Amino acid sequence: MLQMIDRLGQLRGKVLTMANLVEKALDGSVRVLACQDELEARRVLDYEDAINTLEVETDQLATELLALNQPVAKDLRFITAAIKINSDLERMGDLAVNIARSSIRGDHRPMDIDTTEIPEMARRVQAMVRDAVQSFESSDDERAKRVLVSDDGVDEIKNRMFAQLVHGIEADATVASVNVDLIFVAHSLERIADHATNIAEDVLFFVKGLDVRHHRTSIDGKS
């Protein structure tokens, strides 16, 4: 049997491989958004496929580690964090595929995103994902905190975009289909940012032992 430290390194490596694939899938989906290229969309699907396979392997490895090595303290926190991060990464892959799918639906190309805040939103979300992955890679709690702070800005852009896109439809019903797709693109980007936030919270948990989840919000969505 490998030493505990080697097995933890293996687990870390698998999560990082998945995280890098998620970054590629997200970058690909943002390119599909910009150019509606079907070949690129298929590549996003291939990444998701690889991510799904890794998700199952990562869970197996984490469970084996729990069973055979009986870890405690920080090692145990790392393994339970890896189980959760694994699940977040898998969902981020799905959301990248959703963005690619929304972008290549046949009935409304080309889709002009440059008149929207989607490119800015995508840039911010890509930066959050990169920070979340790097905070995991280097156990960097300061970088993890930066991810948490960025989430509010993304939510604000999403809310503005929703309102603008609905008003756009009210002014011209022929854009209904494309604007609803763009609303879902914004929604998917915001969800990816939420999962990046979850990852940052998990990094804070295993590095610092802090649980920073859940702030109460009111029913109208304001904090």
Instruction: Point out which residues bind its own copies (CB under 8 A).
Output: 38, 41-42, 44-45, 49, 52-53, 55-56, 59-60, 62-63, 66-67, 70-73, 76-77, 80, 83-84, 87, 97, 100-101, 104, 162, 166, 169-174, 176-177, 180, 183-184, 187, 211, 213-214, 216, 218-221
Distance separating alpha carbons of residues 108 and 111, to the nearest angstrom: 7
Rounded to the nearest 10 degrees, the angle between the axes of helix 38-69 and helix 73-104 is: 160
* Under 8 Å between Cβ of 30 and 126: yes
Q: How far apart are CA 25 and CA 181, in angstroms?
A: 19
Q: CB-wise, 23 or 190, nearer to its own copies?
A: 190
Instruction: Give CA 103 to chain center in angstroms.
Output: 18
Q: How far apart are the first and last CA of the chain?
A: 50
| 127/166 with CB nearer its own copies | 166
Least distance between its own copies and beta carbon 174 (Å) = 7
How far apart CA 82 and CA 198 sit, in angstroms, is: 12
* CA–CA gap between residue 79 and residue 77 (Å, rounded): 5
Least distance from its own copies to the Cβ atom of residue 9, Å: 20
Residues 180/108, Cβ–Cβ less than 8 Å: no
State which residue, 6 or 172, has the beta carbon closest to its own copies.
172
Q: How far is the CB of 73 from its own copies (least distance, A)?
A: 8
Query: Shortest gap between Cβ of 140 and its own copies (angstroms)?
Result: 22
The residue written with tokens 């390194």 in the block is 9
The smaller minimum CB distance to its own copies, of residues 114 and 220, is found at: 220
Shortest gap between Cβ of 66 and its own copies (angstroms)? 6
Q: How far is the CB of 106 from its own copies (least distance, A)?
A: 9
Q: Which is nearer to its own copies, 1 or 73 (CB)?
A: 73
Q: Which is nearer to its own copies, 4 or 166 (CB)?
A: 166
At which residue do the structure tokens 């929304």 appear? 102
Q: Are 207 and 132 in contact (CB under 8 A)?
A: no
